[in-house]
Amino acid sequence: MRRPLDKAAPKMPERIKMLAPTPIVHDPPSLLGDVRQALSLRPALAGYPARLAEYLEAEERAVRECLEVLYLEGRLCL
């Protein structure tokens, strides 16, 4: 025997409240960390972004952006 329904189905706002929150996943900025580590081992590479990109096997443009971030943070003097 079926149970009688006491109330109507939940409306959209009520359904949204029933959903579990979606976790926000961010890709860690690993290249920035790799650039920091490489420069701690070989500081002279800061003046040669193309060589640094080759050393890290990354795009030169992305390495230049990381160098700019480090310079703006004050952790790199060019």
Separation of alpha carbons 35 and 28, rounded Å? 14
Q: How confident is the model at residue 26 (pLDDT cuts 50, 70, 90)?
A: very low
Q: Give the global pTM.
A: 0.60
DSSP 21-59: PPPP-----HHHHHHHHHHHH-GGGGG-HHHHHHHHTS-
- Tens digits of per-residue pLDDT, 29-51? 689 999 999 999 999 999 999 99
